[in-house]
Amino acid sequence: YSNRGSDAQPMSEIMKAYAAAVTVSLAGALSATFALRRIGSAGGSTATLIRATLPMAAVAASGSANVGLMRRNEWMGPGVRVYDEDGKERGTSTSAGIISWKECSVARVLWNVPSMTIAPLLAGPMCSLPGLNRYPAMVEVALIYAGLVLGVPPALAVYPPIERVDVSRLEPKFQNMTRDNGEPVKQLSFAKGL
């Protein structure tokens, strides 16, 4: 909620969005767990591929749904505030909200890659080392923590916090605007959020 780029929402809307986001996240996690149990210890490359990729896919889908639901007023309306090259507010844009949702969703998928892919690959070999084999849970938590510490900063750096877009990518109402000096507005900027 606090990482969004739009104005305040009523608490009732926040609670509805939060409940929906939690429901989607739980459904993704439970579906992945169910699918993995059905596969069981079956061999074969298909079963291995599913076991390796399903948790990451569930986390990615849940994260994207969470961003979309918690910040739906950005892409469904009224949108996010956009500013011209002079810093003058030019209105609100749902197209900018959609861009923000997509970029934030990609960042959230990227920041989970190290902890969801590298940590599981390293956990087995590390847990078999003398001294560490007595603390497998601690090893896994440390690897996941390291994955997040190494994954979040670069993922957030993929897109700037203040996004600039050509007016052609936004609603028609932003076309043919002029700046204070009479030049056409070519780009508008907005706070993307996290």
Q: Is 168 exposed, middle or buried (0-12, 13-18, 19+ CB in 10 A)?
A: exposed
Which tokens in the block code for residue 93?
């844009």
Q: What are the per-10-residue average pLDDT scores of the chain (194 residues)?
A: 59 77 78 76 68 76 80 84 93 93 89 83 85 88 90 89 93 91 92 80
Q: d(Cα 1, Cα 7) in Å, to the nearest integer?
A: 11
Long-range contact set of residues 166-173: C-beta below 8 Å, sequence gap at least 24:
169/95, 169/99, 170/82, 170/93, 170/95, 170/96, 171/93, 171/94, 171/95, 173/91
Q: d(Cα 166, Cα 85) in Å, to the nearest integer?
A: 11
Q: d(Cα 74, Cα 92) in Å, to the nearest integer?
A: 9
Match 């809307």 to its residue by tokens.
13
For residue 37, the model assigns a pLDDT of 77
Q: Is 161 exposed, middle or buried (0-12, 13-18, 19+ CB in 10 A)?
A: exposed
Q: Is 146 exposed, middle or buried (0-12, 13-18, 19+ CB in 10 A)?
A: middle
For residue 42, the model assigns a pLDDT of 65
pTM of the model: 0.76
For residue 166, the model assigns a pLDDT of 95
Q: d(Cα 107, Cα 129) in Å, to the nearest integer?
A: 34
